[in-house]
Amino acid sequence: MTLPVQFPLTHAASLGCLERSNDPRLNGTITYDRAYQRAFDLWYESNTIGRQTYAYELLPAILGGQWKQTRDLAYFSRMTYSDWYGLDLLDHPSTYRRCGVKGPATWKNTVLIGESYNVFDHDGTIGMGAIEEASRILRQGATVWARPDLSMWRPPSTNLAIVSPALANLNPADFGFIDLSRTQ
């Protein structure tokens, strides 16, 4: 039996975000003092570094090549913002483009990553909203993979989702993911 790729850097970054998000200064009543600001800054730094591991480790392992995170959410041909954006899969979205690509963002050079609270239910089953959203994204020509760990937003409360047509010809189990586009 072949074990799926484990993504050690991404996993470690997710654990770092978990540690930072559990800081008691970030939970409960928010008081905007220096202690709160420092705790928030540390969490934000962990989150930013963690998302860089998607470009450095996760996407190259799955899709090959080199990737970089972009600041803006890309516009994809044949799709509008409301066609692909939903909270069940793409809450806290980020966009990654292949390095060295010129011109507009397209499905050939861009991947969306979401870190949502609603992909998997508390018992580990896939949420119905996530299945419906994945079906809508599949009709737009993209595939959705998800796994319950590796999110940087508020682990382990959030789940990682990757959206790209390039995922359609790959085996998600090889990378520890579930193909939500094929789940009905």
**Which residue numbers in the chain have pLDDT < 70?**
1-5, 25-32, 72-86, 184
This prediction's pTM: 0.84
Which pLDDT score, from 0 to 100, does residue 3 have? 47
Pairwise CA distance, residues 90 & 161, whole Å: 7
Which pLDDT score, from 0 to 100, does residue 107 have? 80
Which pLDDT score, from 0 to 100, does residue 1 have? 37
Which pLDDT score, from 0 to 100, does residue 42 have? 82
Which pLDDT score, from 0 to 100, does residue 64 have? 95
Q: For residue 31, what are the CA distances in angstroms to 18, 22, 44, 126?
A: 21, 16, 17, 36
